[in-house]
């Protein structure tokens, strides 16, 4: 059974719309994660009073150890959320790649010229300018604001309590940040890969 061009166009457009909605949901979800990471990063500021309260309620606990464990927990949660966020970015780009193929096919069926901007929304997303502005800059801003703050404030607080604990925390935070940075670099390299993303 052959499908006429009109039916094919309707089917492709319906599928394009479905995939586009999923991609947009993924993209919105990544921004929600960043807000959540910011809120968890802010927990760093209130952990010291909370740990003091815990120690006064349970005098057998070492106050410096409670402080360290809380900061390590916050850093771990931030690392896990950042990793899930990176996975969502990769999924978003997978959908963008598929949507580019749909746009090309729909343009062919509509007999649009190559330079036409009709059904070209996702085709511009492989350009390095877009990737730099949307992802690399946002990632660096996040890394130097939330992650840096979430590492430096605990380090300084721990320095005043116990230098050894401060160094343990700093080592953990640096390893966590480097692992995330290397994973992000690999994902960004794939974003910039024209074979994967581009239609050039």
pLDDT digits over 14-47, tens only?
888 888 888 888 778 877 877 787 788 778 888 9
CB 101 within 8 A of CB 12: no
DSSP for 30-96? HHHHHHHHHHHHHHHHHHHHHHHHHHHH-TTS-HHHHHHHHHHHHHHHHHHHHHHHHHHHHHHHHHH
Tally of structural domains, the chain:
1
Distance from C-alpha of 95 to C-alpha of 20, rounded to nearest angstrom:
8
- Single out the residue of 154, 145, 152 nearest to residue 66, CA to CA: 154
Does residue 181 form part of some domain? yes
Distance from C-alpha of 62 to C-alpha of 55, rounded to nearest angstrom:
7
99-132: pLDDT as tens digits: 777 777 877 777 776 666 666 665 555 555 655 5
Distance from C-alpha of 180 to C-alpha of 191, rounded to nearest angstrom:
16
The residue range of the domain holding 182 is 5-191
Give the Å distances, CA to CA, from 59 to 40, 111, 128, 191: 27, 77, 57, 52
Does residue 68 form part of some domain? yes
16's tokens: 């394009």
Does residue 131 form part of some domain? yes
Does residue 196 form part of some domain? no
Does residue 123 form part of some domain? yes
Confidence check: pLDDT of 198 > 50? no
79-96: pLDDT as tens digits: 888 888 888 877 777 777
- Single out the residue of 147, 9, 130, 4 nearest to residue 78, CA to CA: 147
Does residue 198 form part of some domain? no
Does residue 165 form part of some domain? yes
pLDDT for res 23 = 81
pLDDT bracket for residue 199 (50, 70, 90): very low
pLDDT bracket for residue 138 (50, 70, 90): low
169's tokens: 């925390």
pLDDT for res 94 = 78
Does residue 78 form part of some domain? yes
64's tokens: 């410096």
């Amino acid at each position: 059974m052959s499908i006429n061009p009109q039916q094919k166009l309707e089917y492709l457009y319906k599928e394009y719309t479905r995939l586009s909605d999923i991609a947009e949901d993924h993209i919105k979800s990544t921004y929600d994660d960043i807000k959540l990471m910011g809120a968890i990063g802010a927990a760093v500021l209130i952990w010291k009073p909370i740990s003091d309260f815990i120690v006064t309620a349970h005098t057998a606990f070492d106050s410096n150890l409670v402080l360290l464990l809380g900061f390590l927990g916050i850093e771990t949660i931030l690392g896990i959320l950042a990793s899930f966020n990176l996975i969502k970015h990769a999924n978003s780009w997978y959908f963008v790649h598929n949507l580019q193929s749909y746009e090309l096919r729909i343009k062919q069926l509509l007999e649009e010229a190559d330079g036409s901007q009709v059904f070209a929304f996702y085709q511009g997303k492989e350009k390095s300018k877009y990737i730099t502005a949307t992802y690399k800059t946002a990632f660096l801003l996040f890394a130097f604001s939330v992650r840096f703050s979430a590492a430096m404030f605990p380090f300084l607080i721990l320095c005043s309590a116990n230098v050894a604990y401060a160094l343990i925390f700093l080592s953990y935070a640096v390893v966590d940040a480097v692992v995330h940075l290397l994973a992000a670099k690999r994902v960004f390299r794939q974003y910039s890969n024209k074979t994967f993303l581009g239609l050039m």
